[in-house]
């Protein structure tokens, strides 16, 4: 069964360092998403991506964050200068259509980021 894969599963970094989280969405999906979950808190929307551009982003997704689909298969989230409060589980997801069109989102297992 097709699945969304994420790497790394866990990354530890020093404050101020750049981090890139990688995702391989399901191959025929058109919409891509990043969510995050700070320990014990809600799963929060970060950004959605369609047709090689951001379609929507939340207030969390500031200038320190960027997304890219560099080669038609990977979908990356970059944090330029990590802060302690960026420590969270980051989930990548993909879908055939938008979630509001009842399209199901398929999630990866998450990448845990720990900023020291």
Partner 1 sequence: GNSVTQMEGPVTLSEEAFLTINCTYTATGYPSLFWYVQYPGEGLQLLLKATKADDKGSNKGFEATYRKETTSFHLEKGSVQVSDSAVYFCALSGGYYSSASKIIFGSGTRLSIRP
Output the six-digit token pair for 97: 């259509």
d(CA 80, CA 77): 10
The stretch near partner 1 (CB under 8 A) out of 12-20, 27-35, 61-69, 80-88 is: 27-35
* Under rule CB under 8 A, residue 2 binds partner 1: no
N- to C-terminal Cα distance for the chain? 37
Q: Quote the least distance from Cβ 107 to partner 1, whole Å.
A: 4
Q: Does 19 sit behind a cis peptide bond, omega within 30 degrees of 0 on the bond before it?
A: no
38 scored as a contact of partner 1 (CB under 8 A): no
Measured over the CA atoms of residue 85, residue 109, residue 5 and residue 51, the dihedral's sign is negative
Nearest CA to 9 out of 88, 109, 105, 116 is that of 109
For the bound state, the minimum distance from the C-beta of residue 100 to partner 1, rounded and expressed in Å, comes to 2
Interface with partner 1 (CB under 8 A), residue total 28
Q: Does 115 bind partner 1 (CB under 8 A)?
A: no
Give the residue, chosen from 21, 82, 90, 110, that forms a contact with partner 1 under the rule CB under 8 A. 110
* Interface positions with partner 1 (CB under 8 A): 4, 31, 33, 35, 41-45, 48, 50, 55-56, 58, 91, 93, 98-102, 104-110
């Amino acid at each position: 069964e097709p699945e969304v894969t994420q790497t790394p599963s866990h990354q530890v970094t020093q404050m101020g360092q750049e981090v890139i989280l990688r995702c391989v969405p399901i191959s025929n999906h058109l919409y891509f998403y990043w969510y995050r979950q700070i320990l014990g808190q809600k799963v929060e929307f970060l950004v959605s991506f369609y047709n090689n551009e951001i379609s929507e982003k939340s207030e969390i997704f500031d200038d320190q964050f960027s997304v890219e689909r560099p080669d038609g298969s990977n979908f990356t989230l970059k944090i330029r200068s990590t802060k302690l409060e960026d420590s969270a589980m980051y989930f990548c997801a993909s879908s055939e259509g938008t979630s509001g069109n009842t399209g199901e989102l398929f999630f990866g297992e998450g990448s845990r980021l720990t900023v020291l």
